[in-house]
């Protein structure tokens, strides 16, 4: 079977040494549901057995169908994820369960192993059989084929994997947490105050607040943690290349506004993007409108900087998931038709700044401009609080092919005509970097080569 890498936009969570771990894991996944609505799974152990529950759809659908919250156990791991168009098999749902004579374990992952196809082919040539296409299964097989203690097997496997990824691995009595050396995908660990000695893990720090977690910290790039009965371990794998920093799109779109990555708050970053966008403005308008939800903070900051009223001109149906992470074009277009509506009493006869967080394919921007035109807007100046996305992501975020990306196909002037706006302007890469203030992976902005050169010159970008 030919394999097209599954670039999971996903979230993972886990707990160790916590009563009712499965129920608490479900709470953490609820806090990560925005990262994927097409598949969910939870594995739990009581120290004697490993049980796994997973299905397509939302977390709420899994909880209705399976007795997850009543499942006994003091450790659990889980994942929410999106489904790509070519991903149609239940075997790709996580956790991946491994039952071997060396011991049973469950694993969930996020991100992307860039050399997964080559690793898979090598293992298949050795006779190993894969059930699905997920990177978690690649990690599981790599670990299985190594010898020694489980920690040694994990570290040897990790040294073979290129790219940016994180994973949680759970046996009947231990839990391992790992973040790749590249560091574009984040993982957080925290103490659970209601359970002395308990630990919680999540892709985003904001999700951990649901449990009232304390001492939240981000795993370092290359850091591996082990938690067992009465013992803990920590190791940091040596880097053989530069750390990329967190994914820039986490600040732009993916993460909750209450999350913090590499010490930089997502909410503060979005406000900074809005202010930076306003500082280069040459047009005027009657009001600023933000596209709900992730562009609201940038739009409000943009309005304050220009001293222009911020208005609610678009209403979002809260029961419709993100169109950006829907797997097919048809589903994205159908979702957009019912997801947003313009308020004519606000925009009719007005010139508006329409602020959005990003433009990927351009279909959403075109539809929103159409809605505003139909509602009577006199002029629409589209402002994007991020640079042009002009390259495919190879670090684990769901991404269109380059030929589908609006930023790779059209200039700003051409894009203006395509989406029927009066003007279009993006943050420049330099403006974005100054506003963010920390090093981050910006490869999707066409910064891959620039980032490598900056690293070689000792610059932080």
Binding site feature residues for [4Fe-4S] cluster: 247, 393, 441, 444
The answer to whether 132 and 138 have CB atoms below 8 angstroms apart is no
Residue 95: asked if its preceding bond is cis (omega within 30°), the reply is yes
Q: How far apart are CA 165 and CA 182, in angstroms?
A: 8
Q: How far apart are CA 127 and CA 121, in angstroms?
A: 10
User: Which residues fall within 8 angstroms of residue 264, CB to CB, at 6 or more apart?
Assistant: 251, 436, 437, 438
Report in angstroms the alpha-carbon separations of 126 from 74, 142, 153, 311. 37, 12, 18, 61
Q: Of the candidates 422, 391, 423, 421, which has an alpha carbon nearest to the alpha carbon of residue 406?
A: 391
The answer to whether 139 and 12 have CB atoms below 8 angstroms apart is no
The answer to whether 33 and 194 have CB atoms below 8 angstroms apart is no
β pairing state of 50-56 and 39-45: antiparallel
Residue in the structure block whose two tokens are 């795993």: 219
> Which H or E run contains 274?
helix 266-279
Give the DSSP letter of residue 209.
G
What are 78's two structure tokens? 């889980």
Partnered with residue 146 across adjacent β-strands are: none
Partnered with residue 175 across adjacent β-strands are: 170, 227
- Phi/psi for 266 (5° steps) reads -65, -45
What are 286's two structure tokens? 């009657």
> Residues within the annotated binding site?
247, 294, 356-357, 393, 441, 444
The three-class DSSP label of residue 77 is strand
Q: How far apart are CA 277 and CA 281, in angstroms?
A: 7
> Residues within the annotated binding site for Mg(2+)?
294, 356-357
Q: In what order do the strands lie in the sheet with 96-100?
A: 96-100, 103-113, 163-170, 175-179, 223-228, 231-236
Residue burial 439-454, b: 16+ Cβ < 10 Å; e: rest: bbbbbbbbbbebbeeb
Report in angstroms the alpha-carbon separations of 158 from 149, 241, 452. 14, 14, 22
């Amino acid at each position: 079977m030919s394999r097209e890498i599954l670039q999971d936009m996903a979230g993972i969570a886990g707990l160790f040494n916590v009563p009712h771990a499965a129920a608490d894991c479900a709470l953490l996944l609820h806090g990560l549901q925005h990262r994927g609505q097409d598949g969910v799974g939870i594995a739990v152990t009581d120290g004697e057995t490993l049980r796994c529950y997973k299905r397509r759809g939302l977390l709420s659908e899994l909880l209705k169908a399976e007795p997850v919250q009543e499942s006994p156990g003091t450790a659990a791991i889980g994942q929410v994820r999106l489904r790509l168009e070519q991903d149609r098999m239940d075997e790709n749902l996580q956790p991946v369960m491994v039952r071997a004579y060396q011991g049973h374990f469950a694993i969930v992952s996020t991100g992307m192993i860039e050399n997964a196809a080559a690793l898979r082919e090598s293992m298949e040539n050795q006779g190993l059989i894969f059930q699905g296409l997920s990177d978690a299964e690649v990690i599981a097989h790599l670990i299985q084929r190594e010898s020694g203690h489980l920690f040694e097997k994990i570290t040897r496997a990790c040294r073979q994997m290129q790219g940016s990824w994180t994973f949680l691995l759970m046996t009947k009595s231990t839990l391992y947490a790992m973040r790749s050396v590249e560091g574009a995908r984040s993982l957080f660990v925290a103490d659970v105050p209601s359970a002395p000695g308990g630990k919680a893990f999540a892709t985003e720090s904001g999700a951990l607040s649901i449990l009232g977690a304390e001492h939240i910290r981000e795993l370092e790039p290359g850091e591996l943690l082990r938690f067992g009965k009465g013992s803990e371990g920590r190791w940091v794998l040596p880097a053989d290349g530069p750390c990329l920093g967190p994914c820039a799109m986490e600040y732009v779109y993916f993460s909750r506004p209450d999350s913090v990555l590499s010490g930089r708050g997502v909410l503060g970053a979005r406000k900074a993007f809005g202010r930076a966008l306003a500082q280069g403005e040459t047009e005027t308008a009657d009001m600023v409108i933000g596209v709900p939800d992730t562009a609201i903070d940038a739009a409000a900051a943009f309005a304050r900087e220009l001293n222009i009223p911020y208005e609610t001109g678009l209403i979002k149906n809260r029961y419709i998931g993100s169109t950006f992470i829907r797997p097919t074009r048809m589903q994205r277009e159908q979702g957009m038709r019912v997801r947003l509506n313009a308020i004519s009493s606000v925009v009719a006869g007005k010139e508006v700044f329409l602020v959005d967080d990003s433009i990927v394919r351009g279909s959403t921007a075109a539809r929103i401009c159409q809605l505003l035109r139909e509602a009577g807007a006199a002029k629409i100046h589209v402002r994007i609080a991020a640079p042009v996305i002009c390259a495919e992501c190879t670090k684990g975020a769901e991404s269109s092919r380059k030929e589908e990306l609006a930023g790779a196909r059209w200039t700003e002037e051409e894009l203006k005509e395509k989406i029927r706006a009066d003007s279009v302007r993006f943050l420049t890469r330099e403006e974005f970097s100054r506003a963010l203030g920390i090093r981050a992976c910006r490869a999707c902005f066409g910064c891959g080569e620039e980032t490598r050169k900056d690293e070689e010159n000792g610059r932080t970008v």
